[in-house]
Amino acid sequence: MKWILTLVALGLVVGGAIYSGLTAATTVDAARAQQTEIREFVDEQAQTRLPLTHLITMPFDGRVEAIGLAEGAAVKKDQVVAQVVPLDLQLTVADAEANIQRLEAAIRESGDKTVELTGLKQAVEYVNSMLSTVEAAAARVESGKAKLDFANKDLSRVRSLHERSSASVEQLQAAELRQVEAAVEYRQDELIYKSLQSVLAATQLLPTVVRQYTDRKDLSVAVLDNEKNQAQVKLEQQKRDRDRGTMKSPIDGVVLERLETNERRVSPGTVLLKIGDPNELEVEADVLSQDVVRVKLGDAVEIYGPAVGAQGAKGNVSRIYPAGFTRVSSLGVEQQRVKVIVRFSEDELQRLRKENDLGVGYRVRVRIITAEKPQTLTVPRSALFRGPDGRWQLFAIRDGRAKLTDVTFGLLNDERVEITGGLTAEEQVVLAPESSLVDGLRVRPATE
């Protein structure tokens, strides 16, 4: 009988052990749903930059002096930062001034008409004199014609008398001689008259020639005036180049980059220095296009990373570019991104530059806060997963068992998610549930 009781007791022990093994709770990592703050954000790599970099460029072809300002050197507004060799500039200005002086002397010379006016008066007097001479010659021709007519008549009379033996041969010959002399003199007078008319015609051209020469000098003065105006413009250009040859800083800032060091000849447009104002430093981030739609102007931004320091910094979104661009990721995937500009909050930049000497082109990270709630029901994001039907679910621990629960959520980030339905405060949820976890399985939180 004793051995029967021993067998029964042994069976009860074994059965209890088997039941206990079949109903033992699975240990899981768990956390409670709590009323906490939650912020939704976009986190991206970024780098510091300046909104405007001032380029000191060569204004024209010339020889620039050696530039002594090195990178990081502080400069003041209107401080001379680069200089074209002054002697070259002075020589070009002096040459332009000398050209103007030469043209002014030529204008004065061409504008002086004293000799021409005197010559004009002389030409007019000469013409008047020739007119008188021609008139005298015409009168002489008329006189010669009268004498010739008289000699012809006298010859006819004497010849008639001779035929009637009333005049001697000597008288006839004398009359013939007088007729010939009168004819020759008349012919000479005509030739002189015609010659003097030709001389008069040529003489009458003299005042016209003098006037034309004077007008030509006026035209030369006009041409010289035009050349002088052109030379004056060139002089102004040379003076402007002389002023532009002294290149000054447009702002209070620092030298970001020095591209030319030694004295040498450079072409126009060559960049000599890059100058910027570190107090205008901002942050540029390339945000994925699907994330940037949640970003708004003025959104708060956390700026962090080794370059910023352990404390980090605060800022706000100041600009969102209207167009995106394609960038290939490190994995070779094409991504559409949009530039977002972040401005540091007041006094933050001065603190960072003092503590970390933050400069241009430094790598940082930005966390753009797109939405936040100061107090709402949240759980760790690792508790949430999508079910086979696409609904969001989690395992809530109720009465010692894991209950598969459908939930709705609002804001979420990398750490926590806002639960808007399906769960109450202080309920525990399973974190990162394993695939072997099923609905209704007994569980025990690893830490209460």
Mean pLDDT along residues 319-333: 90
Tell me, what's the pLDDT at 250? 93
Between β-strands 334-344 and 282-288, what pairing exists: parallel, antiparallel or unpaired? antiparallel
Q: Residue 272, by phi and psi: left (phi above 0), alpha (psi -120 to 50) or beta?
A: alpha
User: Within a domain: residue 5?
Assistant: no
Write out the H or E segment, with its range, that includes residue 155.
helix 114-163
User: Within a domain: residue 76?
Assistant: yes
Task: Say yes or no: 131 and 238 in one domain.
Answer: yes
User: Within a domain: residue 13?
Assistant: no
User: Within a domain: residue 205?
Assistant: yes
Tell me, what's the pLDDT at 153? 87
Between β-strands 74-75 and 325-328, what pairing exists: parallel, antiparallel or unpaired? unpaired
Decide which of 325, 350, 372 is a domain's last residue. Answer: 372
Task: Say yes or no: 232 and 165 in one domain.
Answer: yes
Structural domain including 233 reads: 95-243
Task: Say yes or no: 293 and 351 in one domain.
Answer: yes
> 373-410 burial, b for 16+ CB within 10 Å, e for fewer?
eeebbbbbebbbeeeeeeebbbbbbeeeebbebebebb
User: Within a domain: residue 317?
Assistant: yes
The CATH code of the domain that includes 68 is: 2.40.50.100
The CATH code of the domain that includes 407 is: 2.40.420.20
Q: Is the pLDDT of residue 395 over 50?
A: yes
Structure tokens at 310: 């352990």
Task: Say yes or no: 233 and 166 in one domain.
Answer: yes
Structural Rg of the chain based on CA atoms: 59
Residue 343 pLDDT grade (very low, low, confident, very high; cuts 50, 70, 90): very high
Helices 86-111 and 169-244 cross at an angle (nearest 10°) of 160
Residue type, 274: K
User: Within a domain: residue 7?
Assistant: no
Task: Say yes or no: 233 and 99 in one domain.
Answer: yes
Q: How far apart are CA 290 and CA 294, in angstroms?
A: 8
pLDDT in tens, 114-157: 776 787 777 787 778 878 888 888 888 888 888 888 888 887 88
CA distances from 436 to 29, 322, 402, 432, 433 (A): 14, 48, 12, 12, 8
- Note whether 363 and 47 are within 8 A (CB): yes
Task: Say yes or no: 137 and 196 in one domain.
Answer: yes
Q: How far apart are CA 44 and CA 288, in angstroms?
A: 9
Report the greatest alpha carbon distance in the chain. Answer: 232
Number of domains in the chain: 4
pLDDT in tens, 144-192: 888 888 888 887 887 888 888 777 888 878 878 888 888 888 888 888 8
List all residues 6 or more positions away from 343 whose beta carbon is below 8 Å from its beta carbon.
282, 283, 315, 316, 318
Task: Say yes or no: 116 and 187 in one domain.
Answer: yes
Residue 407 pLDDT grade (very low, low, confident, very high; cuts 50, 70, 90): very high
Residue 19 pLDDT grade (very low, low, confident, very high; cuts 50, 70, 90): very low
Task: Say yes or no: 169 and 227 in one domain.
Answer: yes
The CATH code of the domain that includes 159 is: 1.10.287
CA distances from 250 to 1, 61, 81, 242, 358 (A): 113, 22, 10, 18, 23
Q: How far apart are CA 201 and CA 137, in angstroms?
A: 15
CA distances from 145 to 120, 132, 381, 393 (A): 37, 20, 143, 148
Task: Say yes or no: 100 and 239 in one domain.
Answer: yes
Task: Say yes or no: 134 and 239 in one domain.
Answer: yes
Task: Say yes or no: 116 and 239 in one domain.
Answer: yes
Residue 431 pLDDT grade (very low, low, confident, very high; cuts 50, 70, 90): very high
Task: Say yes or no: 47 and 58 in one domain.
Answer: no
- Note whether 315 and 303 are within 8 A (CB): yes
User: Within a domain: residue 166?
Assistant: yes
Helices 169-244 and 114-163 cross at an angle (nearest 10°) of 170
Mean pLDDT along residues 328-334: 85
